[in-house]
Every structure is written in C-alpha cells, then in structure tokens.
Structure 1
C-alpha cells in the first residue's frame, strides 16, 4: 500500500465524541477453514430472482462512462435509503447511544473472500493468499484512521478464503444471471458478514457493492477486481483502496460526488460538494465554486487513484455506525 503519511482530516474533530458510539462485540464466527477450494458447477447454482443490484454502486476506471455504473442511485433513491435506515435505527436503538472514548471499543466484521477464477493460475484469476491478507490489513488501516483520516470502530477479521474455478462466472459481469448464480451459490453468513468476491470484472469496472437493507439480500457483498488488491497489477489502483471504497458503500456511504453540486450531496455534513468524480489526484480542485470547501479528492469515497486517497470523515463514521446498528448488527 502506498505510503500516504500520517495526515489528519482538516475537518473539525470536535464532534468525534458524539460520532464514536458504542457497538458491542463481534458477530458470529463463520465456521469454515481459512482456505477452501473447488470448482462449482453453474448448473447446480441458484438462479437469478429479482434485481441483484437494487442498492449497488460501482467504481469505474478512468475513461469508463460514469453512466455505465450499475444502478446509480438517484436523489430520490438515496433519500429513500436514508429514511429506511432512520426508521430501522429508531426501532432497534430508540435513542442515541452514549459517546465513548476514542479507540476503546470496536466492531469486528467477519470477512469471507470468494476468489473466482477461470483456471487455477494467477493469470486465470487465482490470486495468492498474501494479497488477500494484505487487503485485510489495508481495510484495518483505513478504517482504523492509520492512513490519516477519522478513526472508525470497524475491525476486519479474515475468516475464510473460498477458491472457485468456474469459467462461466469469469469475468464477473454486473447484473448478470451468472453473478446472481455465483452469489446465491457462495454467499455465507448473516448481514454482518462481509462477503468479498474477486476476479476479472466486466465493463472496465474496479468494483461494486450493495447497500445495507432490512432483510438479508442474497446478493449482499462487495465485488472487486482481483488485481486491485495490494500488490496486484492494476496500477495505479493496486494498493487496496478499491475494496476500502466498496466496503464504504456496504456500510452505507455514498460517493462524495453524489448529487453533484446540488441537493444533499453525499448526505454527510463534513464532506464538501463535488460536481463529478476525481481521477488521478487533482489537488485543490474546486468543482462546486459556489459551495464551501475544496473537492474531497482524498476521501475514500471519491474515484482518485489509491495513492491520493487516505481518509474518511467523522460525518461518514457516524453514518456507517448508524447503518450498522440499523441493519447489520446481529
């Protein structure tokens, strides 16, 4: 992972004690060996039913049309998602939890990697365990505030690596019947279990993810280009921040450029409005000149290259915790 320096967000941290709230204990452990392997017959897998990406967001490479992302949320859809989280949070929690000292508690997220390959070689998609372990470290560094952003309580624990050779699922095509079959056949655990699917992706995408929802979605999880993991070949997107970005969506974060310069933006108070995705690392870009702040190009929820991204904000931390308590906490 590229070194970014120990820089802290220039946003106010005075609200940190309000945002860092208590969530007790890890979810159940996935009862499976760390490594498992086997070819899966697509004829024996499940079939598509409904829309597998009703709440999906995708990260595109430069040059890929922004409009090509699977099921980009409209302003109305984003507002509906927020209302659903608010309602579920009110039912489950009732009142706001008490603040707790920084760093004293954590939420353990069990992680299962499904390595989808065309054949049992690196070129065929079968990435080594070392890349997966490095990716989990990147998640823990990023969400732990060790790259320069806000501390979050989320800690990621690798529980299983499932290796599957199936040419019918390679490349992984968003919103396809093959993706639906793959996820129905492979997904394990409850809403609190992070299922990550790696492989070659279609349509010049780096990854996509589902948002949390009331009921367990069989398509729930994160899909990332295998070579975007730390040490992969997808430079400059090979330091692991594609997965960080997609896990942000899995925890209910929107893109920093949601709604552009209008509306509620990404529905977070301490990220500046942004007209469009940032590619590369356009320092001091201000695409919404009539709104306060420079573009948040260093935020994990933008499209900047990995070496440029290093932070979540405390407003995003609050949003993730609230969604976890509303929908994902066991």
Structure 2
C-alpha cells in the first residue's frame, strides 16, 4: 500500500502566448509515430499552472487532504449516481474535424459504461485485482454541442481553445466542458484538475481520439482517452505518480515504476520495492484503449469526495 502524501516537485515556468498574440504558431500535427504511444499533457499543464499561480498548490493540497479523510457514505448520490451534464465544444478547420453528433454520443456512451462498470471488458480484470475493481457511479449526459470554425491547424496545450480564439466554457461550475480539436505534438488529450480557474476548467480531447466511430483512430479508438482525461478532471493522477515509483495518492493501486504503453502481457511486474504486479489495465495508465478496463475503489472514493459538502465540485451535486 502506498502512503497517501502530497508531493509537489519544483516546476519550470513556460510563458503561454495570449489569445491575441499574432506570433502564436500552430503546433505540429501528429505523425504515424505519434499514434503508437499515448500522450497526455495533464501533468505538464498542471505544472505550468502551479508556476503561474502559487496559491494553486495550497488549494490542491486541501483537496487531497479532503479526499484522504472522506467517508464514501458522505457522497451525494441521486439514485446511486452523480449526474454530470457535458457541453461539447467542437473547434474545426476541416470537415473531418467537425465531428458528428453520432461520434460525440459514442463517447458519452463509453464514459457511462466505463464509470459504471458496464464496459464489456470489465470482466477481463485479473483475479488479483477483482477485490478492488469499482463501479464509480457517475453518469454523463450530453447537454449540448457548440461548434466554431477556426482557421488553425492545431492548438497545443496553452488553453487557447478555451478563450475567445475558440469557445469559452459554458457554466463550468455545473457542467463539464469538453473541447474537441486538433491538439498536435502527439498529445491525445489533457484535463484540468479541480482547484484551478473556472475559466479554463474542463477536458480537451483531440478529434482523432474521441469516441468509437467517425475519426476515432486505432489504437485509441475505443473512447478511453476521454475516460482517462475525465479521471484527471475528477482528481485522479497518473497511476505511476508522474515519477519513478511515485504515488498517485490512492492506496489500492500498485506502485508503478513508470508509464506502460501498448497492451503489456499480464502479469507485468514493477521494478519498485516489493515488485508488485502493475495494474496496467487501469484507466490512468498509458496503455492502448483495448488494454484499459478498470478504476479501483480507492480511485472511486477520491473522485466522489469532490461532490460531497466541502468538496471541490460540490456545485455539480446540487
């Protein structure tokens, strides 16, 4: 079991261009090589936000302490579930990027299956982890789709898609905003942890990795990029803690030495102390979509703590 501690390492500040800066250069689009490995920029964006806003570290520590002390019986559930409306903001330059409602709905369907243990591969969770695999009990409903044509080949990770250059978030204290656009640089998606500014709150997923139809591209064509990023939005860290043998602040996930890619052969042993079998099938690892199928009870408790009185996303539970 991993000790629940809050670790913040020193970070470097990278100046982000403003939305009106004409010198902003589009990021390179993905190559064939980029598609071979999952890329999530959540931790990098988080570190930049910490550098830009020193008070964020204290807010995050409070959120983590709240989660650590949370009793699952305190969760505000309606008919056993939290219901989250989703606003999908589509930014497109090409017809392909202007993804269909069918593709968007396929992603909502995946989220509902993955967060409610209704995914067909949930039964594939190895026996060693069967005692901790979780039905989180969060339901997602498509609230509306907003679209905007933009003459931009890619957006990078500077949150410009969330400003007037793209589409500003709609009611972010009661709705999950999901931006769909071309990110570039091999990044499939990223999210903002709770505690950050509401003006940038939400999840970003590249249009090539959203849902299960249309432009969804193998090996990330089963909607698990959004599952992974929504996990971050609900305060889950990468399972390896973004450090060698780091902590994800969850007690019932094994210590991973680093990220895993592809679909590792089970059992895959960690090189960390005790050589535990790694939970490579956890949604918060970097494996291919077909290799992911579970959250844990500890992750469930951490996520649902956000919706309790005093939790960082309590406004969603009202």
Question: Which of the five TM-score ranges fits, normalised by the shorter chain?
Answer: 0.7 to 0.9
Tell me the SS of whatever aligns to 1:319: helix
Task: After TM superposition, give the deviation of residue 192 of structure 1 in Å.
Answer: 3.2
In 2, Cα distance between equivalents of 1:188 and 1:282: 39
Aligned to 1:153: 137
Task: After TM superposition, give the deviation of residue 185 of structure 1 in Å.
Answer: 4.0
Aligned to 1:172: 155
Alignment gaps of 5+ in structure 1: 1-10, 12-44, 49-59
Tell whether 2:182 aligns with 1:207: no
Match for 2:82 among 87, 103, 107? 107
Task: After TM superposition, give the deviation of residue 63 of structure 1 in Å.
Answer: 5.5
In 2, Cα distance between equivalents of 1:79 and 1:173: 24
Compared CA separation, residues 165 and 305, structure 1 to 2 (3 A): same
Aligned to 1:235: 218
Residues 119-157 of structure 1, C-alpha deviation per residue, up to 9 Å, x if partnerless? Answer: 4x12xx111111111100000000001122411121100
Calculate the aligned-residue CA RMSD, in Å. Answer: 3.5
Residues 52-93 of structure 1, C-alpha deviation per residue, up to 9 Å, x if partnerless? Answer: xxxxxxxx854688899633659x999856522156679xxx
Aligned to 2:105: 133
Match for 2:116 among 128, 144, 155? 144
Alignment gaps of 5+ in structure 2: 2-17, 22-33, 123-132
In 2, Cα distance between equivalents of 1:223 and 1:67: 10
Aligned to 2:248: 266
Aligned to 1:222: 203
Compared CA separation, residues 190 and 259, structure 1 to 2 (3 A): closer
In 1, Cα distance between equivalents of 2:62 and 2:140: 26
Tell whether 2:250 aligns with 1:250: no
In 2, Cα distance between equivalents of 1:159 and 1:107: 15
Aligned to 1:57: none
